[in-house]
């Protein structure tokens, strides 16, 4: 949506030392704050939104709201961030303290041409030199994955970090429950799981140990601010970036990364398939406070000139190791596309629409052999566990059209992903399961339920799903519907879909529109699950709206400048920011203004809700008792 002055990549890339203030300017009255943890030096970032004095009487309401913040140091003016410089490696000390890793000469033998020489990234002409850094790996016999620690009862700083992060607003919320409408929250429907009132580091540990949640955090990505993906936590969203052979350059991709995390992407996948894949990835990882995912088969395919038949396990294995050494936090691996499932796709309307899935299908058929990702899965896990790379088991046979939803090809693969989940867990490798795609609404829950059952509650990570195929150009909307629903039903992370889906590579506007559509879906899902404290954001915003605190309403919204711009199209005068009406209804027809008068009358006459019962409502009282209490 071009609802802000159209931004170009250069607008971000060229900011230099002004980058922080430029990015923060999209969130007026916001500032970065940190909440300290118990682990020495551990501090968890939030975005504090200052609001003006609340006019609701008799309340002692806070004048700020804490928002979950995925934007890293880029919105902290006290940090000197600059594109190309890389971020401060906040986890480096945590990893070092565990004393179970070692630096070594990386292999980087692919076409990446990156040679690791030293422990810290070096700079060339003032900018990060991707060929300088030496990778870390687990010492022989040591486990370094969060799941490894979790199973052994160890609470890592990463776990404490995500516990504090997830608890956002809850303590305040819990303390004030029942103190007026601002602290109400509806009872959720969490479909058989139960989300605790407070998320403790121990709860995080238990969930990771059980495989119900993952903390993607490669030991070679120390710049990461840890986050958690699991259905007992906030629903997360992923943004895909990456160039293709047709379009996009290196700095464009970093600009997209910053833009995506500014608006709220929890993880970012670099799906580059064009030139310079390793160089782009190095820059992205060193610049990213969020986990970075990749689909290694893309780079492997580039290495063999784009001919799937030429792929081999050895080429793929090298690619995995090189990417793990760079610091990729999770890999999508299409190990469930089995030779015997491919014929199921013949009578589909849209065949195989996963790029990785179609590559592996072609390889399988050409060689008359089983998928090498499946046959070498144990070796893959050996690599992943050495760096704590999480595996995202790809849905290579996901439906690419409503007509193909929940068919045999899709579900056969899902069962195999369950089998692979168990294998990965045996190696203490963290696992999530990828899901579709295109599903009509009535079949969405079946997807979620089958995943939970057959993949043993490993976190589900879906692309949308799109609920109809008829609106190319608007697939962020067709899919936000499905994403909100599957998030409610238990999906842990929603992969965004931009307006460009099916049509072309997203630009900055598309990235922003996609991220915001998915922040909406994820938050709607949190509300529906009854995630404690989630409704506080809605309540704060609606409270500002009802009290005509226009500036607060804008500032509390997901996209303050757009909200303000829409308001100002008709009423640009500064005085209108205090007006008790807007251009939608005008002053005489403003229901909120009239309600103010109604409430003032009620107050003057000491009218209470109980009065309603006395004036003839008694016969309805019995009916109300049958309706379940809707307030906590």
Question: Restricting to residues 509-538, which ones interact with a copy of itself according to CB under 8 A?
Answer: 516-517, 519-521, 523-525, 527-530, 535, 537-538
Residue 582 phi/psi, 5° resolution? -140, -175
Question: Shortest distance, CB of residue 570 to a copy of itself, whole angstroms?
Answer: 5
Is 456 a binding residue for a copy of itself by CB under 8 A? The answer is no
Closest by alpha carbon to 298, among 286, 281, 284, 283?
281
How many Cβ atoms are within 10 Å of 273's Cβ, its own excluded? 17
What does the alpha-carbon distance between residue 409 and residue 46 come to, in Å, rounded to a whole number?
43
Q: What is the 3-state secondary structure (H, E, C) of 349-374?
A: CCCCCCHHHHHHHHHHHHHCCCCHHH
What does the alpha-carbon distance between residue 317 and residue 631 come to, in Å, rounded to a whole number?
54
Alpha helices in 170-312 (DSSP H): 170-176, 201-209, 250-263, 277-286, 296-303
Whose Cβ is closer to a copy of itself: residue 58's or residue 126's? Answer: 58
Q: Give 3-state DSSP helix, strand, coil % of the chain, rounded to 5.
A: 45, 10, 45
Is 545 a binding residue for a copy of itself by CB under 8 A? The answer is yes
Binders in 223-262 for a copy of itself, by CB under 8 A: 244-247
Determine contact, residues 138/429, Cβ cutoff 8 Å: no
Is 627 a binding residue for a copy of itself by CB under 8 A? The answer is yes
Is 337 a binding residue for a copy of itself by CB under 8 A? The answer is no
Whose Cβ is closer to a copy of itself: residue 10's or residue 366's? Answer: 366
Among 118, 189, 193, 578, binds a copy of itself (CB under 8 A): 189
Is 59 a binding residue for a copy of itself by CB under 8 A? The answer is no
Whose Cβ is closer to a copy of itself: residue 1's or residue 122's? Answer: 1
Is 10 a binding residue for a copy of itself by CB under 8 A? The answer is no
CB-based contacts of 372: which residues, under 8 Å, 6+ apart? 311, 312, 313, 316, 363
Binders in 547-566 for a copy of itself, by CB under 8 A: 553-554, 556-559, 562-563, 566
Is 407 a binding residue for a copy of itself by CB under 8 A? The answer is yes
What does the alpha-carbon distance between residue 370 and residue 411 come to, in Å, rounded to a whole number?
18
Q: Are strands 64-68 and 101-103 parallel, antiparallel or unpaired?
A: unpaired
461 has binding-site annotation: yes
Is 347 a binding residue for a copy of itself by CB under 8 A? The answer is yes
Is 357 a binding residue for a copy of itself by CB under 8 A? The answer is yes
Among 46, 316, 341, 548, binds a copy of itself (CB under 8 A): 341
Whose Cβ is closer to a copy of itself: residue 41's or residue 504's? Answer: 504
454 has binding-site annotation: no
Binders in 491-510 for a copy of itself, by CB under 8 A: 499-505, 507
Sole window of 35-43, 114-122, 320-328, 411-419 interacting with a copy of itself (rule: CB under 8 A): 411-419
298 has binding-site annotation: yes
Q: And the tokens for 61?
A: 């309401």
How far lies 260's CA from each of 25, 84, 175, 254, 509, in Å?
15, 17, 34, 10, 10
Among 17, 609, 622, 625, binds a copy of itself (CB under 8 A): 609
Q: And the tokens for 516?
A: 């915001």
Among 152, 340, 422, 580, binds a copy of itself (CB under 8 A): 340
């Amino acid at each position: 949506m071009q609802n802000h002055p159209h931004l170009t990549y250069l607008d971000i890339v060229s900011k230099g030392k002004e980058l922080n203030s430029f990015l923060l300017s999209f969130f007026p009255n916001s500032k970065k704050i940190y909440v300290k943890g118990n682990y020495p030096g551990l501090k968890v970032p939030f975005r504090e939104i200052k609001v003006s004095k609340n006019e609701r009487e008799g309340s002692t309401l806070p004048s700020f709201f804490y928002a979950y913040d995925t934007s890293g140091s880029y919105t902290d003016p006290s940090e000197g961030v600059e594109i190309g410089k890389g971020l401060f490696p906040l986890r480096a000390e945590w990893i070092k303290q565990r004393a179970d890793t070692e630096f070594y000469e990386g292999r980087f033998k692919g076409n990446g041409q990156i040679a690791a020489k030293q422990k810290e990234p070096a700079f060339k002409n003032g900018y990060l030199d991707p060929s300088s850094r030496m990778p870390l790996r687990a010492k022989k016999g040591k486990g370094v994955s969060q799941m490894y620690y979790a199973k052994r009862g160890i609470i890592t700083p990463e776990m404490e970090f995500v516990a504090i992060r997830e608890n956002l607003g809850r303590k305040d919320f819990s303390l004030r429950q029942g103190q007026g409408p601002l602290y109400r929250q509806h009872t959720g429907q969490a479909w058989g799981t139960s989300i605790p009132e407070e998320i403790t580091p121990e709860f995080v540990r238990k969930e990771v140990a059980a495989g119900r949640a993952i903390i993607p955090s490669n030991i070679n990505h120390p710049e990461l601010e840890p986050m958690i993906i699991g259905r007992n936590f906030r629903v997360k969203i992923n943004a895909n970036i990456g160039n293709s052979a047709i379009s996009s350059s290196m700095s464009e991709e970093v600009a997209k990364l910053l833009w995506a995390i500014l608006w709220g992407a929890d993880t970012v996948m670099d799906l580059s398939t064009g030139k310079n894949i390793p160089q782009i990835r190095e820059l992205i990882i060193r610049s990213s406070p969020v986990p970075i995912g990749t689909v290694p088969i893309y780079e492997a395919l580039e290495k063999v000139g784009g001919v799937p038949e030429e792929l081999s396990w050895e080429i793929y294995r090298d690619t995995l190791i090189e990417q793990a050494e760079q610091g990729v936090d999770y890999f999508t691996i299409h190990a469930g596309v089995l030779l015997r499932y491919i014929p199921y796709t013949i009578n589909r309307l849209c065949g195989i629409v996963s790029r990785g899935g179609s590559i592996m299908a072609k390889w399988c058929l050409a060689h008359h052999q089983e998928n090498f990702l499946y046959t070498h899965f144990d070796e893959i896990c050996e690599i992943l566990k050495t760096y704590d790379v999480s595996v995202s088991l790809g849905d290579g046979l996901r439906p690419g059209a409503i007509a193909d939803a929940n068919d045999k090809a899709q579900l056969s693969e899902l069962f195999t992903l369950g089998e692979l989940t168990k294998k990965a867990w045996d190696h203490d490798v963290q696992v999530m399961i990828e899901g579709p795609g295109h599903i009509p609404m009535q079949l969405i829950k079946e997807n979620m339920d089958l995943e939970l059952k057959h993949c043993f509650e490993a976190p589900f990570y879906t692309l949308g799903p799109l609920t109809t195929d008829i609106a190319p150009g608007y697939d962020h909307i067709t899919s936000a519907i499905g994403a909100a629903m599957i998030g409610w039903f238990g999906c842990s992370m929603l992969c965004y879909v931009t307006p460009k889906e099916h049509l072309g590579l997203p630009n900055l506007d598309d990235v922003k529109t996609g991220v915001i559509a998915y922040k909406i879906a994820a938050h709607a899902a949190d509300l529906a699950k009854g995630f404690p404290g989630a409704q506080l954001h809605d309540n704060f915003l609606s409270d500002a709206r009802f009290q005509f605190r226009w500036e607060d309403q804008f500032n509390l919204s997901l996209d303050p400048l757009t909200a303000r711009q829409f308001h100002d199209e008709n009423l640009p005068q500064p005085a209108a920011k205090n007006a008790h009406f807007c251009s939608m209804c005008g002053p005489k027809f403003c229901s909120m203004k009239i309600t103010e008068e109604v409430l003032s009358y009620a107050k003057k006459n000491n009218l209470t809700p109980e009065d309603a019962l006395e004036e003839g409502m008694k016969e309805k009282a019995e009916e109300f008792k049958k309706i379940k209490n809707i307030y906590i």
